Structure 1
Amino acid sequence: MPATSTLLSTGTDRVPSAFQDSDAGHVAGYRVIRRNGSVTPFDATKITVALTKAFLATEGSVAAGSRRVHEVVEDMAAQVVSALTRRADTGRTFHIEEIQDQVELALMRSEHHKVARAYVLYREERARERAAAKAAAVEVTVPTLLVKGDDDSLLPLDEARLARIVDEACDGLEAVSAAAILAETRRNLYDGITVDELSLAPILAARTLVETEPNYAFVSARLLLDRLRREALSFVSGRPEQATQAEMTERYASYFPDFIATGIKAELIDPELGRFDLTRLSAALKPERDLQVQYLGLQTLYDRYFLHTKGKRFELPQAFFMRVAMGLAAREIDREARAIEFYDLLSSFDFMASTPTLFNSGTQRPQLSSCFLTTVADDLDGIFKAVKDNALLAKYSGGLGNDWTPVRGLGAHIKGTNGESQGVVPFLKVANDTAIAVNQGGKRKGAVCAYLETWHVDIEEFLDLRKNTGDDRRRTHDMNTANWVPDLFMERVEADGEWTLFSPDEAPELHDLYGTAFKAAYEAYEAKASAGGIKVSRTVRALDLWRKMLTMLFETGHPWITFKDPCNIRSPQSHIGVVHSSNLCTEITLNTSKDEVAVCNLGSVNLANHIVAEGLDLDRLARTVKTAMRMLDNVIDINFYTIPEARRSNLQHRPVGLGLMGFQDALQALKIPYASDQAVAFADASMEAISYNAISASCDLAAERGRYPSFEGSLWSKGVLPIDSIDLLAKARPGVDMDRGARLDWDALRKRVRKTGMRNSNTMAIAPTATISNICGVAQSIEPAYQNLFVKSNMSGDFTVVNAALVHELKARGLWDEVMVSDLKYFDGSIGQIDRIPNDLKALFATAFEIDSAWLIEAASRRQKWIDQAQSLNLYIANPSGKKLDTLYRLAWNKGLKTTYYLRSRSASHVEKSTLKGTDGKLNAVSAVTMSASAPIIVNADAAWGKACAIDDPECEACQ
């Protein structure tokens, strides 16, 4: 059996060459903490010796020396090295027992159970021997550890402060242990540890415990706050400084003016913020609200939102929320009072502005809008202007939706050259590459979605754009795509009729028509094509094309299915233009043309924060929506516009998109299963309340500030509210199946809207909220829970996520223990197959793939009746088939939905059935030197079937 001094020796050929250094077996940048506290280079060759000795002890020298065992040992050694090194790019420090854990895990995975058992018993025996030796020692000398400061000076470890910080992080939280965190922390310290590593150690120690108690997510966040405070306070003061949370009660007020001055000096903050009454604003900060952020949220803020310069973050959470609020209040009359009002709403997590607003509010380039929609003209100038506009809009974090339908199809005549067009696909390739090249200021990838109508002659090539086979010059692997589907096509599918494809240069009217007018024009073009009057056209079976659309959705996750007619027929702005596409996330439905770029400004109500014992707190919700609508309206005037078409459109129509998040949390707080009539009714009632208050707030703003310029002639001006516009859709498409029930006093609101007007042409849209929901610590958007225990991956790394509501219920029934944690991991975060869990909890905490997506569509239909734009609706299928997809998407159309978003499927590989401890991830705020002593998880919890979208793909920015 291996001795601890030589745990890990030969076989360096299996160590990845990128990690090796000149010493045989040493892995560059990696170190090992021995039990005596010494630190030595990580010698990967010792792993082979450890494994070989284990086989010698159980199988004898002859068997252990065989070629078979040698190959097994080499393979397992490589697995261990890979497991230890794959999650860090620049090296880390391992504890000796972490390496032993990986060796043990490799033996178990390879099913050498006899060897593994002997190895475990040997480790236990050695542990007992060490404990006995320690107890028998007459005198034990505990050396004082030295900590290396930023200036390389060595100072004794401040044990008292370390204990105080951990105690403070645990204060007020149930079922957490400061002693356990301190014990794990101290086990990973060594002489000469850096200040950064020291601040990281308790964070990692707390993170390993999240799977057993969700409150450790708050502990981890508070420990990260201590690290952040040291970084920020030291930078703004110009001297080494640190503060506890208790000390920040006083320190925040003096820090805040220094923070503003530092940001202005670094040319990151608008100098106008320096002219606010900073003393008044400092006094309004609420340091205690730092404690409501969970680890995932704080790490996300650190990595992607907080201002930084010279590699240092100098923005603390409450300063961040106040900076955003000040930027949004800059043009208010009493701007300090409004800034405090906005700050209170943001920092309470009752409402959260969208990512671009959080990124850029109060900065020198306040591009605060979320979404931009464009129509591409059918000439080279127009096409490449659209590509340039994409780059300019993406530069400052805008998500893009492009309407490519006007561009003529393959084989169409080009008058200028007397040649034939190559169609729309080559230009889509250029747009794809531009999105990657312009990466939103380094904060996230550029993201764009191309839309094409189903009658376009290039539609079949468009469907193939995301395939991994075929001519790569005609593929767009990084761009999202969506079908823009007319009702007439769906009617032909249901009737199993024919469908004719045209080039838009020969059927130009179709682009701007919808409803009965589209049908008349389309049938006229069909007759013209049959008579030979159209050069480029093709007739296909509608059902065959529909099946190919669904097949590509199955295989590649694209193009998404969106519906042209309901988007236009129910649009308040149908009097002044046409909706030609949606946006990047399919929730925005605004008019575009070659001269007008649509812009939308987003934010989301945290529905979970508005739940009380009796149900939805309507008074609090009304207050939240009123302030949120004011903030969103302010964005329009403050915004930094990168192209004139966007500015002109936004000021003319002033659309905003108020959405929601935390819907699943709200249901679970109310003990309502997602797959139930009660959930559908709650979706209806909650959205009605948001709609009523959003429209009312916009009407109030119109009274104060004036109507939006294009109000006259709109549906609003005629007293037609979103609930009323269903009648228009039903008239154009008889048989549409949408509920019409209402609870609130809509008649009074109709009269007020007609008389006073609206400040905003559009008021509501439900965005995905994938990142801002992380900040608030709730489920994103209207999504059902993905899993109750899983590892979430995003650009900030990998994070253990546990459904705290489920844990609370299990504790109340005496069911939360280590066995339950093990069962949750074994069943991939689902409780449906765990026998000892009662059926009522199984229904309440059913995961997305256990819920029939028909329930999601029914709830979405109830919301859609109240929304003047659309909603990002993901659909989930555990065992997909062509028939199921056909049924599902026909249901979405029949239920009056305007759009759908990603199709999700159960992952192909799941959470490792061993441990979630040590999932440290690729974190920017934490040093790449990781000191967790436990084995890291091996996980791909979000892989999707085929090429459908991974729910938390860290490279995907479509919904971040």
Structure 2
Amino acid sequence: MATLHTLVTDTLPTVVKRDGRRVSFDAERIRRALEKAFRATLELPADAPLSAELSEEIEALTGAVVRWCRDRAEVSVEEIQDEVERTLMRAGRYAVARRYILYREARAEARRRQQLTYRRADGTEAPFPHEALRARIEAACDGLDDVDPELVREELLRTVYPGIPEDELDRALILAARTHIEREPDYTYVAARLLLDALYREVFGRPIPPSEQAEACRAGFRAYLEHGVRLGRLDERLLRTFDIDRLAAALHPERDRRFTFLGLQTLYDRYLLHEPEGRRFELPQYLWMRVAMGLALAEDDPTARAIQFYELLSSFRFMNSTPTLFNAGTPHPQLSSCYLTTVQDDLGAIFKAIRDNALLSKWAGGLGNDWTPVRALGAHIRGTNGRSQGVIPFLKIVNDTAVAVNQGGKRKGAVCAYLEVWHLDIEEFLELRRNTGDERRRTHDMNTACWIPDLFMQRVRERKHWTLFSPDEVPDLHDLYGRAFRERYEHYEREAEAGRIRNWRRIEAVALWRKMLSMLFETGHPWLTFKDPCNIRSPQDHVGVVHSSNLCTEITLNTSPEEVAVCNLGSINLVAHVDEQGELDREKLRDTIRTAVRMLDNVIDLNFYPIPEARTSNLRHRPIGLGLMGFQDVLYRRGLSYASEAAVELADEFMEFIAYCAYEASSDLAAERGAYPTFKGSKWDRGLLPLDTLDLLEAERGEPVPVPRTARLDWDALREKIRRQGMRNSNVLAIAPTATIANICGVSPSIEPTYKNLYVKSNLSGEFTQLNPYLVRDLKARGLWDKEMLDDLKYYDGSVQEIDRIPPELKARYRTAFEIEPRWLIECAARRQKWIDQSQSLNLYLAEPSGRKLSEMYQLAWQLGLKTTYYLRALAATQIEKSTLDINRRGIQPRWMKSRSPSSDIVVRRDGPACSPDDESCEACQ
């Protein structure tokens, strides 16, 4: 057998290096590589002598590789290494071969990283900025527990390639941080801060290190305003009304570090101002100050007020609704969220209403249309002596208008049509969202809602008949409610029986109720809203009638042919007003509410009104809708389950305090600016506050409204103040969905329970992993947070109920929306409703819907005096296979959970469209 020495003296091939150079063959390099692989496998130190037997084996293996190479004129480094692997495998040294392969991969990765480049924005190539990126990642991780900068860097280096463009490198860096969010919630802040770095580079045209961003932000504020004015995107009054240097000094760029990734990405995609070609020129703190300036333009000291408003927005204590964030400080400040209209029974009026919808939708308004006055199918048309086609064909046009005229090109147009349940077209109206039937009589892009009088609910309960009419023959029913409605409705029933009404039909009330519920389950529509509580408890019963709610069912304002109701929304972030134990800072919250009410009142005077009827209504009544978000977060901080009496009491206590401060703030604002023009004769003026109107509702119904009247504050003193000073706003409180602004603030939306503890949220900005940080915190405290727990959460679709390791108190606390009995949501809502002068967007959840459960749920909501309900969330009847998880280890899922998708938060209805908890229609107002 030839030795290695004799082999190397023979004629050997030229070796082709990776860079193309040709060098002499060196068999010693092969022997050293094999020795290293053996030492690593056998865990032998580098200075430990090899046994004679092992040395001889390495010599023999090297000789085999050299003999293979000798037959070739040229051989590449890669070919030599491949032959080393094959030789080891033929010799049965599989473990050593594996170690050698890993070594090759590590060396290849090191070479790749060393050779990496990136392409600057100007097109030039540059060496990969390893150290700069390391510094950025470390800065993004600063101050966060349980995050590892090296994990982010390694993830980044696995995904980049030579010549990667600078903007794509930013995206890869953000994605590298996002990857780890499911195992540690704080990585959401890492990803957000890396996105912020990219945003600064986009705005300033060059990289701004994190340590210099605050100075750059303040220094660039004036240039931002001037640039925005030149582009026509900002109101020129911003430059001449305010002390710009004082505002720049008041900026708090460090507050950007509070953003979650979802929050900042949402802001980046949909709110920050950009040039026509798409480049953003607005930073988050510029946005907050722009909105603050836009709302302070008419103040006596606009600079001081702008700083006061900015403090609330930038600290997430309060957030205006989306239209205000979109448009404040711009040349077209359409700041209002919701518009409510009543459509008259006249062809010209109908198409004017459709035109009004288009104009209002253009400027990001959500729409609620009352279609009850329009005559029904088959009704007589006096002018042509023909027969009416009813409401449905017009609603198809409304649907298509909402699609054609989206909200400023920023999100889908959104409209909801309301119809009273005595309307002769009601049964076909219920089917508008079905996926079967005549497509010409379907409205897949429009929301629908039933406007239900108490009489109907009582007849359902008593299993009596119900009579449908065409409104042209019973025109006054539209404006009547309570006992007056009952008396007139029964009169018309007698007239119909006597033959003095031509177009009518009698059905069983229960049959119509069942169809409403079946359509609600099948399609998600119509929403069920209650006419009598909305009107009997309305502060403005002296000047009109509430004919519908709005798109998101939280607004209850009067409408008429002369007045299009307008509401201006914003929400308090409860999380910003409680400590880690959930204790409320009452003085801070009171201060926030007083400033927020002032901001919302300013919207009324500064607003751009697309149609005159909206201006008329808003200036006469000056309604606002102050809401809240983060209620579920507060429960977590207090260690409470949503499904508990303690949660119901907390909803009552917090809402009472918010209501007291809000009504007091509006009254004090009236002392400063004057009461709204129609204050005289209102319930406010008559000494009736929302709490008092529960007794009125009870009297009109003739049956109890079983909601405790407990009060903790001095409401008599407030009544006297309102009597003396008046109210600045006809309506003050309304709890909107806050679907988007809650994302921006990084808190739970509105009054919603947690949807799931781990899921993927999908919205217009993409898909985002959402992991409940409170759950992770509590699991860490008990030493239970590990990879196995994460896998269990994935397997059980974000539910903790079937995970044996989790203690019972955490299972109770972290029940998800479908694991909470609906009565708890309704009870909490009823306690809030007793303090609220408008309504609330209340979603209801059922894991296993049935006709009986649906009926009981909505009858309870009505019985407890709720004014409106919103979406019904029901689970699907199919399950997606979890092929990547070990089903044998975890067992079979409980039946209610088998309907959930492991990778999505989509709720699939049986014959209806998909609907998610972040449905974009929910975002039309917020």
1:257 aligns with 2:222: yes
Aligned counterparts of 1:957 and 1:863: Cα–Cα separation in 2: 20
Query: What is the CA deviation profile of residues 25-81 of structure 1, one whole-angstrom value per residue up to 9, with x for unaligned ones?
Result: xxxxxxxxxxx99xxxxxxxxxxxxxxxxxxxxxxxxxxxxxxxxxxxxxxxxxxxx
Aligned counterparts of 1:908 and 1:170: Cα–Cα separation in 2: 43
- Matched residue type, 1:188: T
Report the counterpart of residue 356 of structure 1 in structure 2: 323
1:708-723 matches, within 5 Å, as 708-723=676-691
- Cα 1:125–1:899 change in 2 (3 A) is farther
Question: What's the Cα RMSD here?
Answer: 2.0
1:620 aligns with 2:582: no
1:284 aligns with 2:255: no
Query: What is the CA deviation profile of residues 338-363 of structure 1, one whole-angstrom value per residue up to 9, with x for unaligned ones?
Result: 11111110111111110000000111
- Please report how far the alpha carbon of residue 810 of structure 1 lies from its aligned counterpart in structure 2 after TM superposition: 0.3
User: Would you say the 8 A contact 2:341–2:369 is kept in 1?
Assistant: yes
1:419-434 matches, within 5 Å, as 419-434=386-401
Q: Which runs of 5+ in 2 are unaligned?
A: 1-17, 20-93, 886-900
- Please report how far the alpha carbon of residue 736 of structure 1 lies from its aligned counterpart in structure 2 after TM superposition: 1.8
User: Would you say the 8 A contact 1:584–1:958 is kept in 2?
Assistant: no
1:178 aligns with 2:149: yes
Normalised to the residue count of structure 2, the TM-score between the two structures is 0.86
Report the counterpart of residue 812 of structure 1 in structure 2: 781
Aligned counterparts of 2:106 and 2:561: Cα–Cα separation in 1: 82
- Please report how far the alpha carbon of residue 958 of structure 1 lies from its aligned counterpart in structure 2 after TM superposition: 5.3
Q: 1:551 aligns with which of 511, 518, 525?
A: 518
Q: 1:658 aligns with which of 613, 626, 639?
A: 626
1:512 aligns with 2:479: yes
Name the SS for the 1:441 alignment partner.
coil
- Please report how far the alpha carbon of residue 151 of structure 1 lies from its aligned counterpart in structure 2 after TM superposition: 2.2
Report the counterpart of residue 716 of structure 2 in structure 1: 747
- Cα 1:878–1:172 change in 2 (3 A) is same
- Cα 1:140–1:729 change in 2 (3 A) is closer
- Please report how far the alpha carbon of residue 127 of structure 1 lies from its aligned counterpart in structure 2 after TM superposition: 7.2
Aligned counterparts of 1:521 and 1:263: Cα–Cα separation in 2: 58
- Matched residue type, 1:649: S
- Cα 1:911–1:694 change in 2 (3 A) is farther
Report the counterpart of residue 269 of structure 1 in structure 2: 234
Aligned counterparts of 2:392 and 2:918: Cα–Cα separation in 1: 26
Larger displacement relative to structure 2 (524-533 or 732-741): 732-741
Q: Which structure would you say has the larger RCO, counting Cα contacts within 8 Å and 6 or more residues apart?
A: 1
- Please report how far the alpha carbon of residue 619 of structure 1 lies from its aligned counterpart in structure 2 after TM superposition: 1.0
Larger displacement relative to structure 2 (256-265 or 397-406): 256-265
Q: 1:407 aligns with which of 369, 374, 388?
A: 374
User: Would you say the 8 A contact 1:586–1:899 is kept in 2?
Assistant: yes
Report the counterpart of residue 501 of structure 2 in structure 1: 534
Report the counterpart of residue 803 of structure 2 in structure 1: 834
- Please report how far the alpha carbon of residue 884 of structure 1 lies from its aligned counterpart in structure 2 after TM superposition: 0.2
1:296 aligns with 2:262: yes
- Please report how far the alpha carbon of residue 277 of structure 1 lies from its aligned counterpart in structure 2 after TM superposition: 1.0
Query: What is the CA deviation profile of residues 356-382 of structure 1, one whole-angstrom value per residue up to 9, with x for unaligned ones?
Result: 000001111000000000000101010
1:552-951 matches, within 5 Å, as 552-612=519-579, 613=581, 615-733=583-701, 734-907=703-876, 913=882, 939-946=903-910, 947=912, 950-951=915-916
- Matched residue type, 2:102: A
Query: What is the CA deviation profile of residues 85-104 of structure 1, one whole-angstrom value per residue up to 9, with x for unaligned ones?
Result: xxxxxxxxxxxxxxxxxxxx
1:4-15 matches, within 5 Å, as none
Aligned counterparts of 2:763 and 2:167: Cα–Cα separation in 1: 23
- Matched residue type, 2:436: T
Query: What is the CA deviation profile of residues 845-882 of structure 1, one whole-angstrom value per residue up to 9, with x for unaligned ones?
Result: 10000000000000000000000000000000000000
Report the counterpart of residue 85 of structure 1 in structure 2: none
- Matched residue type, 2:672: E
Task: Tell me how many residue pairs correspond in the alignment.
Answer: 814
Aligned counterparts of 1:661 and 1:260: Cα–Cα separation in 2: 31
- Matched residue type, 1:631: M
Aligned counterparts of 1:126 and 1:294: Cα–Cα separation in 2: 46
Query: What is the CA deviation profile of residues 903-933 of structure 1, one whole-angstrom value per residue up to 9, with x for unaligned ones?
Result: 00235567874789xxxxxxxxxxxxxxxxx
1:151 aligns with 2:116: no
Aligned counterparts of 2:525 and 2:179: Cα–Cα separation in 1: 37
- Please report how far the alpha carbon of residue 129 of structure 1 lies from its aligned counterpart in structure 2 after TM superposition: 3.9
- Matched residue type, 1:731: A
- Cα 1:259–1:950 change in 2 (3 A) is same
Q: 1:450 aligns with which of 412, 417, 421?
A: 417
Aligned counterparts of 1:338 and 1:469: Cα–Cα separation in 2: 55
User: Would you say the 8 A contact 1:221–1:298 is kept in 2?
Assistant: yes
Aligned counterparts of 1:568 and 1:869: Cα–Cα separation in 2: 10
Aligned counterparts of 1:679 and 1:373: Cα–Cα separation in 2: 33
Report the counterpart of residue 185 of structure 2 in structure 1: 214
- Cα 1:291–1:141 change in 2 (3 A) is closer
1:305 aligns with 2:271: yes
Q: 1:381 aligns with which of 344, 348, 366?
A: 348
User: Would you say the 8 A contact 1:904–1:948 is kept in 2?
Assistant: no
Higher gyration radius (CA): 2
1:188 aligns with 2:162: no
Query: What is the CA deviation profile of residues 391-441 of structure 1, one whole-angstrom value per residue up to 9, with x for unaligned ones?
Result: 000001000000000000011000110000000000000101001100111
Query: What is the CA deviation profile of residues 718-748 of structure 1, one whole-angstrom value per residue up to 9, with x for unaligned ones?
Result: 1111111111101101222222110011010
Aligned counterparts of 2:97 and 2:881: Cα–Cα separation in 1: 28
- Matched residue type, 2:860: L
- Cα 1:141–1:575 change in 2 (3 A) is closer
- Matched residue type, 1:626: R
- Please report how far the alpha carbon of residue 173 of structure 1 lies from its aligned counterpart in structure 2 after TM superposition: 0.3
Q: 1:495 aligns with which of 451, 455, 462?
A: 462
Aligned counterparts of 1:590 and 1:136: Cα–Cα separation in 2: 71
- Matched residue type, 2:129: D
User: Would you say the 8 A contact 1:374–1:598 is kept in 2?
Assistant: yes
- Please report how far the alpha carbon of residue 953 of structure 1 lies from its aligned counterpart in structure 2 after TM superposition: 5.7
Normalised to the residue count of structure 1, the TM-score between the two structures is 0.83
- Cα 1:457–1:336 change in 2 (3 A) is same
Aligned counterparts of 1:142 and 1:412: Cα–Cα separation in 2: 77
Name the SS for the 1:306 alignment partner.
coil
Query: What is the CA deviation profile of residues 94-119 of structure 1, one whole-angstrom value per residue up to 9, with x for unaligned ones?
Result: xxxxxxxxxxxxxxxxxxxxxxxxxx
- Please report how far the alpha carbon of residue 198 of structure 1 lies from its aligned counterpart in structure 2 after TM superposition: 1.2
Aligned counterparts of 1:693 and 1:523: Cα–Cα separation in 2: 43
Query: What is the CA deviation profile of residues 681-735 of structure 1, one whole-angstrom value per residue up to 9, with x for unaligned ones?
Result: 0000000011000000000100000000000000000111111111110110122
Aligned counterparts of 1:956 and 1:680: Cα–Cα separation in 2: 28
Q: Which runs of 5+ in 1 are unaligned?
A: 1-35, 38-122, 235-240, 917-936
Report the counterpart of residue 88 of structure 2 in structure 1: none
- Cα 1:503–1:166 change in 2 (3 A) is same
Name the SS for the 2:220 alignment partner.
helix
- Please report how far the alpha carbon of residue 153 of structure 1 lies from its aligned counterpart in structure 2 after TM superposition: 1.2
Aligned counterparts of 1:648 and 1:915: Cα–Cα separation in 2: 60
